[in-house]
């Protein structure tokens, strides 16, 4: 049962081939066995998890079950879940137990899904390799000496290693797509505002977006249907008509116009990655799609713009962690200011401090216009580039990452090189567009290669269908890492 997709597990549960308790117990046992090696999970709560599974089994005996009833799902530890410790990968929240459910957690509960555990992540979602977590780095199931990508590395590694059938993640600059690519799974970032951010511990509010991670595009469609919902508690939540994503995955690729951005294919991209993506594009042509050359001329500026805007918003969002109301407090201090300083110095890791300092600097008097305001103007130009491109194409495709998974520690001492890992993913966040990554090959080291799909606003259905049709004629999404057989 551990090999099945979410769709297959849902069908099996409906047929009573096994119970949710049996399924959940199997994933719990596997996760606890492998977690010492992979470090994908921060928190398990067996009592709460099995109680949900028992409740799901009662629902499965009625006519009220959904496609997700009884399915165990791992949640990135950035999502608040009632009575669950929610750390955001930081010492600052090491013992914080959430008093409420995030909107998407509530939605999954309403659909009858089971919370399997909370997954490891880069601290406050700041990182591209899952090496900044207070709880230790996550390891890539394809090679335990390599990173799984970040910041949703724990969620990606859990699915890749067969520790969970699906997981949730968040994507601020590529943090769903990049780890999905490096771990050989499928991951989707929806249009900004489509999935509520209520209950997500904020990093950069204008960029953060939650999304699903799973083995296949079909599974992503099922998960997205549960996650998309208007939420009055989130001022950026959009009220849109309900879309049956899973019902539209079989649309034909005949006539599909695929935009190929010349800026995403350069000598900065590893040859194996370029080859894998080129082979994927050939498959689309065989299915009747047409390749269209496009240009996104401002996209090379996306990394620079992002690392002004995101730290600025982080500086503001993380000011609430001061040791007064909740979270970590320094044990010894002389006065209030000393408590603030010591609490934040001890509670935050190096990468979080770096981004807070950058953000405070660019927002300071005399630098706001020179940096923050200019970065926002570049952001608008990036959005305009995409709008122009979508006049001639239906979906844009490119590599997800410039390379496959790199060695643990390889880029830890060079933040700029680490930031460039997201060079192909950041632009979609700045523009607020939906984007996803699916496996499209293996490199010479037998490491997964990711194909990125970027859709127009609210065109997740087209994007998912394109991914699903590719997975119908290839088997890269079915490949399993060596650790899977343990």
Which residues belong to the active site? Answer: 76, 151, 175
CA atoms within 13 A on the CB side of 150: 34
* CB under 8 A, 24+ apart: contacts of 407-416: 407/145, 407/146, 407/147, 408/129, 408/131, 408/137, 408/139, 408/145, 408/146, 408/147, 409/131, 411/129, 412/129, 412/131, 415/351, 415/354
What percent of the residues of the chain are helix, what percent strand, and what percent coil, each to the nearest 5? 45, 15, 45
- Could you tell me if residue 405 is left (phi over 0), alpha (psi between -120 and 50 degrees) or otherwise beta? beta
Peptide bond into 151 cis (omega under 30): yes
- Cα dihedral across residues 424, 425, 428, 429: positive or negative: negative
Please say whether the dihedral angle defined by the alpha carbons of residues 35, 36, 37 and 43, taken in this order, is positive or negative.
positive
- How far apart, in Å, are the Cα atoms of 209 and each of 389, 392, 402, 425? 23, 27, 22, 13
Give the other-Cβ count within 10 Å of 335's Cβ.
8
Find out whether 452 and 435 touch, Cβ atoms under 8 Å.
yes
Measured between alpha carbons, how far is residue 412 from residues 307, 406, 408, 417 in Å? Answer: 17, 11, 8, 9
Residue 92 C-beta-side C-alpha neighbours within 13 Å: 27
β-strands 114-119, 186-189 pairing: unpaired
Render 297-343 in DSSP notation, one character per residue: TTGGGHHHHHHHHHHHHHHHHGGG-SSSSSS---S--SSHHHHHHHH
Buried b (16+ CB within 10 A) or exposed e, 97-118: ebeebbbbbbbbbebbbbbbbb
């Amino acid at each position: 049962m551990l090999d099945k997709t979410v769709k297959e597990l849902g069908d099996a549960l409906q047929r009573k081939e096994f119970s949710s308790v049996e399924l959940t117990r199997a994933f719990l046992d596997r996760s606890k066995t492998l977690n010492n090696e992979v470090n994908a999970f921060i928190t398990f709560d067996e009592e709460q998890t099995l109680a949900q599974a028992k409740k799901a089994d009662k629902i499965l005996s009625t006519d009220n079950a959904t496609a997700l009833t009884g399915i165990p799902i791992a949640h990135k530890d950035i999502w608040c879940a009632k009575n669950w410790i929610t750390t955001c990968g930081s010492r600052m929240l090491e013992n914080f137990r959430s008093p409420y459910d995030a909107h998407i957690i509530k939605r999954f509960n309403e659909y009858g899904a089971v919370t399997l555990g909370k997954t490891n992540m880069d601290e406050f979602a700041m990182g591209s390799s899952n090496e900044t977590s207070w709880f230790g780095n996550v390891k890539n199931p394809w090679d335990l000496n390599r990173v799984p990508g970040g910041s949703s590395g724990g969620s990606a590694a859990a699915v890749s290693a067969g520790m969970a059938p699906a997981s949730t993640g968040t994507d601020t600059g590529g943090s769903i797509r990049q780890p999905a690519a490096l771990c050989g799974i499928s991951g989707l970032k929806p249009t900004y505002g489509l999935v509520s951010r209520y209950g997500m511990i904020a990093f950069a509010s204008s960029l953060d977006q939650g999304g699903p991670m799973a083995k296949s595009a079909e599974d992503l469609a099922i998960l997205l249907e549960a996650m998309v919902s208007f939420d009055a508690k989130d001022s950026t939540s959009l009220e849109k008509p309900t879309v049956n994503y899973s019902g539209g995955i079989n649309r034909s690729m005949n006539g599909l116009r695929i935009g190929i951005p010349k800026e995403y294919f350069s000598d900065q991209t590893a040859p194996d990655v370029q080859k894998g993506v080129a082979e994927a594009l050939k498959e689309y042509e065989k299915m009747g799609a047409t390749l269209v050359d496009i240009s996104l001329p401002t996209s090379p500026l996306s990394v620079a713009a992002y690392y002004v805007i995101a730290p600025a918003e982080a500086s503001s969002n993380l000011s609430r962690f001061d040791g007064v109301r909740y979270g970590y407090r320094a044990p010894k201090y002389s006065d209030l200011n000393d408590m603030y300083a010591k609490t934040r110095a001890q509670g935050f890791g190096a990468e979080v401090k770096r981004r807070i300092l950058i953000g405070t600097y660019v927002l300071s008097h005399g630098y706001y216009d020179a940096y923050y305001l200019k970065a926002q103007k570049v952001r608008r130009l990036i959005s305009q580039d995409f709008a122009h491109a979508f006049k001639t194409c239906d979906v844009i495709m490119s590599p997800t990452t410039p390379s496959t998974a790199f060695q643990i520690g390889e880029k830890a001492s060079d933040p700029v090189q680490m930031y460039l890992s997201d060079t192909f993913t950041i632009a979609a966040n700045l523009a607020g567009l939906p984007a996803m990554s699916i496996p499209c090959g293996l490199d010479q080291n037998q490491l997964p290669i990711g194909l990125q799909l970027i859709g127009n606003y609210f065109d997740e259905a087209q994007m998912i269908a394109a991914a699903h049709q590719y997975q119908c004629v290839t088997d890269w999404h079915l490949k399993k890492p060596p650790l899977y057989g343990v």
